[in-house]
Amino acid sequence: MGLGAEPWGIWILPWVALIPLWWIVIQFLGKKAVLLRSAIAWGVGYYGLSLFWITGIHPMTWMGVPWLASLAIALFCWVFITAWGTGLTVVWVGVFSQIYKLLKHQFEWQKASEMGFILIRVLMGTALWCGLEGLWSLTPLWWSSLAYTQSYGNLAILHLGQISGPSTVTAAIIIINGLMAEGFYFCSAHSCQKNYKFYIIPIVLFIIFHGIGFSLYRQPLNDFPDNAVKVGVIQGNIPNEVKLYSQGWQQAIYGYTTGYQTLASQGVDVVITPETALPFLWTERTRRNSSFYRAILQEKVLAFLGGFSQSGNRLTNSLFAINGEGEIISQYDKVNLVPLGEYIPFENIIGKWINRLSPLDSHLIKGQQNQQFQTPLGQVIVGICYDSAYSRHFQQQAANGGEWIVTASNDAHYASAMLAQHHAQDVMRAIETSRWTVRATNTGYSAIVNPKGETIWISQRDTYTLHTDFIYRRTTQTLYVRWGDWLTPVLIILSGIIMALFYGKPFRNID
């Protein structure tokens, strides 16, 4: 499953990668130790591999952290987020095995259809996994939905996200894996020479799922020239080793100022910079002493600038829309902050202890959920870095009138695998909302993605880059934008109804 995610991108593997775990649940029903070990092994294999990029924060010697302490921090982060993801797998195996035992007992007592038994199990296993992913995505630590193993190599199946978000793709993966695992188990105990449905059903569904996705992918965009926006992107390439110090500030001010002037001379409608492009508090005094601010007054081109703002006695990680008069006409504050990196969970309880361990300034405050980024170029859907992992964040902004997406990130402190996965997340958000997306990053990958998920342009890593392109404002709403993730509650409710009715009468034999 982990090899399905970028940068490996072997997207076909996730369609069979859950079969061993599902088969173990059936084979070793009631053997808790075996089930627990298997769940942990599978979870560590998936989340440990796909999230190994977190170790790229080492070494942090440039921040004054000793080499061994830096290694310990990196390993702790990797172990913790791997364990957090593995917890989902452990819960799924534990609950699903109990559901399976109950269903098995009732089906044997009622002498009901084996195929009916299998279909009900697959339904409930799928509903349970989607429900758990929904719960995990409500927490401050979320990244690795099964759906993102298909991004960005399998654009056809990603278009199922337009129906009910990532849960649609996750459900399709679970259904195929579940049916194949059930079929293999049944055929190991019975002859399947005449029961071709155990082979055919998952293959047919795999084709149907991709056929639906491909039909959505093939829909014309129908973008109108009047809705075109010429955007300019600056990839500043300011290494983290210098970013927060005087040398980095001077490099940033020079690079972004000259980049802004160059792009403005090319006739762009807006210049977009990465997260914290100018890494200081953007106050009135700071603005007026900045060459970037003076360039705006001279060129009169709208700028989206990443920086910090103050809220009470705390800071926000923000993106500002600055008009040609140098005025901030809109501001977006990052909603999904990185735990320990940007804020301390349960700060009153563990704050002092964490401050001794964390090398980062973990005292930012998150923005409100209902922000709107209004600009002369329409309402923009904004995500800063970690926001990209939360599909609801973009769905809600699109439902409230957002016409195109801007994501601003600084991934310089992570391994290259993270850059590829971050791009993959934004590809999913573009497809789910059917919006043009502009990615502006510090060191890569900056990109332009169309509503089909096609990457029109992508930058090289660790290079100073200027790029201009056309994107289009869109107001169309996908089913996911209108209704959100409606599939997961439907699956859960349907499973509950079946369980409630199960004791009333046996299922009709459908073999």
Q: Tell me the percentage of the chain whose pLDDT exceeds 70.
A: 91
Residue 178 within any structural domain of the chain: yes
Model pLDDT, residue 188: 73
* 302-311 vs 314-322, strand pairing mode: antiparallel
Residue 426, Ramachandran bin (φ over 0: left; ψ between -120 and 50: alpha; else beta): alpha
Domain co-membership, 129 together with 18: yes
Domain co-membership, 275 together with 165: no
Domain co-membership, 185 together with 230: no
Residue 271 within any structural domain of the chain: yes
Model pLDDT, residue 397: 98
Q: What average pLDDT does the segment 397-406 reach?
A: 98
pTM of the model: 0.93
The DSSP 8-state label assigned to residue 8 in this structure reads: T
pLDDT of 289 over the 90 cut: no
Q: What average pLDDT does the segment 288-316 reach?
A: 91
Number of domains, the chain: 2
pLDDT of 207 over the 70 cut: yes
* Residue 111 is among the residues annotated as catalytic for this protein: no
Residue 18 within any structural domain of the chain: yes
Model pLDDT, residue 311: 81
What are residue 316's DSSP bridge partners?
309
Tell me the one-letter amino acid at 381: I
Query: Please, are residues 403 and 198 in contact by the beta-carbon 8 Å criterion?
Result: no
Residue 399 within any structural domain of the chain: yes
* Residue 334 is among the residues annotated as catalytic for this protein: yes
SS3 472: strand
Domain co-membership, 286 together with 144: no
Residue 167 CB neighbour total at 10 angstroms: 31
Q: Which of 54-58, 194-198, 390-394 has the lowest mean pLDDT?
A: 194-198
Domain co-membership, 208 together with 101: yes
C-alpha of 23 from chain center: 29
pLDDT of 381 over the 50 cut: yes
Number of alpha helices (DSSP H) and beta strands (DSSP E) in the chain: 18, 12
φ and ψ of 285, to 5 deg: -65, -45
Model pLDDT, residue 254: 94
435: Cβ–Cβ under 8 A, 6 or more apart, which residues?
A: 381, 394, 398, 402, 403, 404, 405, 429, 451, 474
204: Cβ–Cβ under 8 A, 6 or more apart, which residues?
A: none
DSSP output for 405-448: EEEEE--TTS-HHHHHHHHHHHHHHHHHHT--EEEEESSS--EE
Range of the domain at 22: 2-220+485-501
What are residue 305's DSSP bridge partners?
320
* 437-441 vs 404-409, strand pairing mode: parallel
Model pLDDT, residue 283: 78
Residue 345 within any structural domain of the chain: no
pLDDT of 430 over the 90 cut: yes
Going by pLDDT thresholds of 50, 70 and 90, the confidence category of residue 80 is very high
Residues 316-363 have pLDDT tens digits of 999 999 999 999 999 999 999 988 677 766 455 444 444 444 444 447
Higher pLDDT, 356 or 135: 135
φ and ψ of 347, to 5 deg: -60, -35
Measured CA to CA, the distance from residue 40 to residue 24 in angstroms comes to 13
Model pLDDT, residue 360: 44
Residue 224 CB neighbour total at 10 angstroms: 10
Higher pLDDT, 438 or 338: 438
From the candidates 133, 385, 432, 452, give the one annotated as an active-site residue: 385
The tokens 């409100």 sit on which residue? Answer: 368
What CATH number does residue 387 fall under? 3.60.110.10
Residues 224-257 have pLDDT tens digits of 999 999 999 999 999 877 877 778 788 999 999 9
Q: What average pLDDT does the segment 375-395 reach?
A: 97
Model pLDDT, residue 509: 46
Model pLDDT, residue 510: 40
Cα Rg of the chain (Å, integer)? 25
Query: Please, are residues 282 and 308 in contact by the beta-carbon 8 Å criterion?
Result: yes
Measured CA to CA, the distance from residue 309 to residue 209 in angstroms comes to 45
Domain co-membership, 176 together with 235: no
Q: What average pLDDT does the segment 303-315 reach?
A: 89
Model pLDDT, residue 355: 45
Query: Please, are residues 300 and 376 in contact by the beta-carbon 8 Å criterion?
Result: no
Q: What average pLDDT does the segment 29-51 reach?
A: 95
Domain co-membership, 82 together with 100: yes
Model pLDDT, residue 277: 93
Domain co-membership, 145 together with 248: no
Model pLDDT, residue 106: 64
* Residue 77 is among the residues annotated as catalytic for this protein: no
Going by pLDDT thresholds of 50, 70 and 90, the confidence category of residue 282 is confident
Higher pLDDT, 167 or 58: 167
The DSSP 8-state label assigned to residue 364 in this structure reads: B
pLDDT of 269 over the 90 cut: yes
Residues 446-496 have pLDDT tens digits of 999 999 999 999 999 999 999 999 999 999 999 999 999 999 999 999 999
Residues of 257-296 as b/e, b for ≥16 C-beta within 10 angstroms? bbbbbebbeeebbbbbbbbbbbbeebeeeebeebebbebb
* 378-384 vs 404-409, strand pairing mode: parallel
pLDDT of 507 over the 60 cut: no
From the candidates 6, 130, 182, 334, give the one annotated as an active-site residue: 334
Measured CA to CA, the distance from residue 139 to residue 145 in angstroms comes to 13
Mean pLDDT value across the chain: 89
φ and ψ of 405, to 5 deg: -110, 135
Nearest to 296 by CA among 326, 276, 316, 273: 326
Model pLDDT, residue 190: 65
pLDDT of 274 over the 60 cut: yes
Residue 442 within any structural domain of the chain: yes
Residue 507 CB neighbour total at 10 angstroms: 19
Token code pair at residue 111: 């002498």
Higher pLDDT, 362 or 107: 107
Domain co-membership, 107 together with 255: no
What are residue 228's DSSP bridge partners?
472
pLDDT of 387 over the 90 cut: yes
Going by pLDDT thresholds of 50, 70 and 90, the confidence category of residue 108 is low
Q: Tell me the percentage of the chain whose pLDDT exceeds 90.
A: 71
From the candidates 133, 182, 275, 342, give the one annotated as an active-site residue: 275
Domain co-membership, 163 together with 271: no
Higher pLDDT, 500 or 418: 418
Domain co-membership, 466 together with 490: no
Q: Which of 181-185, 267-271, 348-352, 427-431 has the lowest mean pLDDT?
A: 348-352
Query: Please, are residues 398 and 433 in contact by the beta-carbon 8 Å criterion?
Result: yes
Nearest to 170 by CA among 219, 131, 135, 199: 131
Query: Please, are residues 89 and 43 in contact by the beta-carbon 8 Å criterion?
Result: yes
Residue 197 within any structural domain of the chain: yes
Measured CA to CA, the distance from residue 265 to residue 249 in angstroms comes to 24
Domain co-membership, 254 together with 125: no
Model pLDDT, residue 344: 66
Residue 346 within any structural domain of the chain: no
SS3 374: strand
